[in-house]
Structure 1
Amino acid sequence: MKALIIEDEKAALRSLKALLTEMAPEITVVGELDSIFDSLEWFRTSPMPDVVFLDIHLADGSAFEIFEHITISCPIIFTTAYDEYALRAFRVNSIDYLLKPINRPDLQRALEKLKRFSPAAEMATPEKEPDYLKIFQELKRAESFKTHFLIPMKGDKLLPISVDSILFFYIADGNVKAVDSQLHEYLFPQTLDELAESLDPHLFFRANRQFLISKKAILDIDLWFNGRLSINLKAPTVEKVLVSKARVAEFKEWLVG
Structure 2
Amino acid sequence: MNALIIEDEKAALRNLKALLAETAPEITVVGELDSIFDSLAWFQASPMPDVVFLDIHLADGSAFEIFEHITITCPIIFTTAYDEYALRAFRVNSIDYLLKPINRPDLQRALDKLRRFALPSSEATGQMPDFRKVFQELKRAESFQTHFLIPMKGDKLLPISVDSILFFYIADGQVKAVDTDFREYFFPQTLDELAESLDPQRFFRANRQFLISKKSIRDIDLWFNGRLSVNLKAPTAEKVLVSKARVAEFKEWLVG
TM-score (norm 2): 0.54
Structure 2: distance between partners of 1:222 and 1:207:
14
Contact 2:117 2:134 in 1 (8 A): no
Secondary structure, in 3 states, of the residue corresponding to 1:178? strand
Distance 2:187 2:166 in 1: 14
1:147 aligns with 146
Correspondence for 1:65:
24
Secondary structure of 1:200 counterpart: coil
The percent identity for this pair of structures is 70
**Distance across 2 between alignment mates of 1:86 and 1:175:** 43
Q: Match for residue 101 of structure 2?
A: none
Amino acid at match of 1:65: A
Equivalent in the alignment of 2:134: 135
CA distance in 1, matches of 2:134, 2:222: 39
Aligned length, in residue pairs:
166
CA gap 1:87/1:228 in 2 versus in 1, 3 angstroms: same
Mapped to 1, the partners of 2:142 and 2:228 lie a distance apart of 32
Matches of 2:148 and 2:115 in 1, distance apart?
28
Look up the SS of the partner of 1:213 in the other structure. Answer: strand
Cα distance change, pair 85–174 in 1 and its aligned pair in 2 (3 A): farther
2:175 aligned with 1:216, yes or no?
Answer: no
| Local SS of the residue matching 1:251 | helix
Unmatched 5+ residue regions in structure 2? 2-19, 30-48, 52-108
CA distance in 2, matches of 1:227, 1:151: 38
Q: What is the DSSP-based 3-state SS (H/G/I as helix, E as strand, rest coil) of the residue aligned with 2:158? A: strand
Specify whether residues 86 and 68 from structure 1 end up closer, same or farther in structure 2 by C-alpha distance, changes over 3 A only: closer
Within 5 A, what are the aligned runs for 1:8-47? none
Q: CA RMSD in A?
A: 4.2
1:35-54 Cα distance to aligned partner (Å, 9 max, x none): xxxxx9xxxxxxxxxxxxxx
The within-5 A match list for 1:237-252 is 237-252=236-251
User: 1:86 touches 1:139 (CA, 8 Å); kept in 2?
Assistant: no
| 1:134-164 CA distance string (max 9 Å, x none) | 4312210011111111111111111110111
The residue that corresponds to 1:204 in the other structure is: 203
SS of match in other structure, 2:185? strand
Amino acid at match of 1:139: L
CA contact (8 A) 1:90 1:136 kept: no
Deviations 1:160-195 (A, max 9, x none): 101111000001111110000000100011111111
Structure 2 CA distance for partners of 1:134 and 1:64, relative to 1, 3 Å: farther
Higher-Rg member (1/2):
2
TM-score normalised by length of structure 1: 0.54
- 3-state SS, counterpart of residue 250 of structure 1: helix
Q: Note if contact 1:87-1:139 (Cα within 8 Å) is conserved in structure 2.
A: no
The alignment partner of 1:238 has SS state of coil
Structure 1, unaligned runs of 5 or more: 1-39, 41-60, 74-82, 97-113, 123-129
Q: Against the structure 1 CA distance between its residues 141 and 72, is the aligned structure 2 distance closer, same or farther, given a 3 Å change threshold?
A: closer
- Equivalent in the alignment of 2:229: 230
Pairs within 5 Å for 1:31-180 = 65-66=24-25, 68-69=27-28, 118=125, 132-180=131-179
Distance 1:62 1:139 in 2: 26
Counterpart amino acid of residue 147 in structure 2:
H
Q: 1:62, 1:237 → 2: CA distance?
A: 57
Superposed displacement of residue 242, structure 1: 0.1
Give the Cα separation in 2 of the matches to 1:95 and 1:63.
25
Moved over 6 A (4+): 61-64, 70-73, 83-87, 89-96
Pick closer, same or farther for the CA change 1:249–1:181 going to 2, 3 Å: same
